[in-house]
Amino acid sequence: MAKTGSKDTDEQLVERVFKGEMQAFDLLVLRYQQRLLGLIGRFVRDPHEAEDLAQETFIKAYKALGNFRGESAFYTWLYRIAINTANNYLVSRGRRPPDTDIDVDDPEQIEAHAMMADTDSPEENQFRDELKAEIDRAIAELPEDLRTAFTLREFSGLSYEEIAEIMDCPVGTVRSRIFRARDAIDTRIRPLLDGE
């Protein structure tokens, strides 16, 4: 990121926006647009819908920037807006994410994917595909609070404290939700792994 101001912290950029420097918000958008697209894409499969929701998230964040008091990190505040926007979109459509919403092949998971992709035989490829599909279904079927906590931890790499801020709950609750999500996923895929 060689652009002017890209070395500024989020808080410094927010302060610059408050002073009337609109380009500072553009830098925040550039900094977080790919992460938000990845996050929203876990809830909404259609890439065009995800892009629209990411744009809507940034518009909402811009309009609500006066309410940002810096009590939490800017990106946790922004992630909270993104998750709420995605969930509201799904509720307005009367649906939950389909079982293929979670893409574990995403760049953030490249190492894990590379380990799974080292196999070449058709049987191993089929097993990998079945396992991935089963994991996707297990994640999609989790209750919303477990799915959100798990997704933020495993796919976005956020700390328990950051997730607690986004979900507005105690850290212990976040740990419990992630543990329960992992346990449910493990229970779901264990027969596949034992049968391997």
pLDDT tens digits, one per residue of 101-128:
334 333 343 334 334 444 356 777 777 7
pLDDT at 110 (0 to 100): 31
**What CA–CA distances, in Å, run from 60 to 15, 73, 92?**
18, 17, 17
Distance (Å, whole) CA 51 – CA 44: 10
Q: What is the pTM of this model?
A: 0.59
pLDDT along the chain (196 residues), means of 10: 61 89 89 89 84 92 86 86 88 58 37 40 75 84 91 86 91 91 87 73
Distance (Å, whole) CA 109 – CA 154: 9
Handedness of CA 191, 115, 155, 127 (dihedral sign): negative
Let me know the angle formed at the C-alpha of 189 by 122 and 110, rounded to the nearest 5 degrees. Answer: 65
Domains of the chain: 7-95 (1.10.1740.10), 103-196 (1.10.10.10)
With tokens 């191993």, the residue in question is 124
Handedness of CA 137, 139, 142, 144 (dihedral sign): negative
